Structure 1
């Protein structure tokens, strides 16, 4: 093997997080330890030119390793990403194994085995949510995200939960979001003049075509996923609502976690909470808080909550069969 080939191989291994021992490499490449030392000095010079990476000698391990990695992640980061993926339940077993292989490939070598061992049991018991689209979720999310960033119209065939046949829609995609096990494309219906976005679950899009035709979106009114996420609950969109309610629960922090736009005013024995939210998804969360929430405004939502609670009570007042 030539010096250039040897240097390239050592470089790739270092970038993958390996620790290089001079005596081991001398035997592996069948050269003298002095030759490997010169290789290390050449690599040090190259990394120094980068300005962000060093190749120090570790006396405890008697080896050389990069001080930081441009193309590798440590085990703690890899395992954290695995845990998020497992709990999302968004991907099929096959898709998850594909992502796992890629993540392990960019994990530093000395952490790979441990990460794989920790992930193994969860992979065995992993249960994805049921998807209806024959398309690859990984590729669909990527293509729709690109279409939204470049303001391309998209034709989709969308299969609602209880429908047997898909319906055609032309949409103006605004952005991709993930919530409660599913990926969503946030979009405007291209055939309507609605002034608020709607959501489509990507796993229910059984086919789509990204068109070359673009739509215009003024910079001042551009869609921002972060701002939208703060105001939407369970991906139920609709008009912007200015919400006000009384909260008597034990954890006001739980309110702030669920409603990032919320502002709390402390009263004697409760909080008054105000927030901006999109659509009626907020009603689902408010109902989950039982007697610890009382909606004050808007009046229409207060009446809806009252009607829903009365209907729930009627279910329990009926004679048990």
Structure 2
């Protein structure tokens, strides 16, 4: 059924919020775009004149599409090559969605998106709809076909799982910038000791190459192991330059609201290293180098000016 211009406009007015919901649910910008497009096809096939509240109808359709996708995604990730990390979104990307409250900002942080992978699909949906978009439990219950009491209980469990993985307090932007500067100086010094001092004792480093780019299948754990890995990562070599297609320049920006180092070769993003910086030190490095998960970051990067890199590596 062909839609009128007004009906298309009604959907397009909802698209940014739908994409932001889908991204938080799926951890993938490309999968979020596909889910929203499928929601549009459902909208196109529906008798839209009988839909009283298009936003509510579309949210329910999209959320259930994402829940179905999450179930199949879990099976796919069991066969994923190496560690799986979410697709990073750089500063200014509209898919990041609302960032007016601390809860909204945290819900899209790279660290929390990684933690959401531990939740059941229903826990993830309730957490996202409540924490990031402030849906009342009455509406969440209608979207997920639950009782309000069940929605509240699910949110309590989800918050606890996320809080258990986020026991530290993050630092402000100025302090984070200083720590990043110190990290770059230490990482390029060729010495392990300065790096160890910047890390928490239980720091971790995780890389996602998706089988396309070499990355360790298990995380590095502990300050010493992570420091040694970072020292080796920043050590120049011809093999690394050939793999990256040149000598990457590192730019400091934000990804998912947190500090990130973007590795760029000839204007092309080849990696996004997200740092989790707390009052105790750097707690985690999450490095996305899978080219399939950098397509949106590349589009966003190409659309803005970034100046000279902080440092040239390899």
Do both share a fold (TM > 0.5)?
no
Which structure has the higher relative contact order (CA within 8 Å, separation 6+)?
2
With normalisation by structure 1, the TM-score equals 0.25
- Give the TM-score normalised by structure 2: 0.25
Larger relative strand fraction: 1
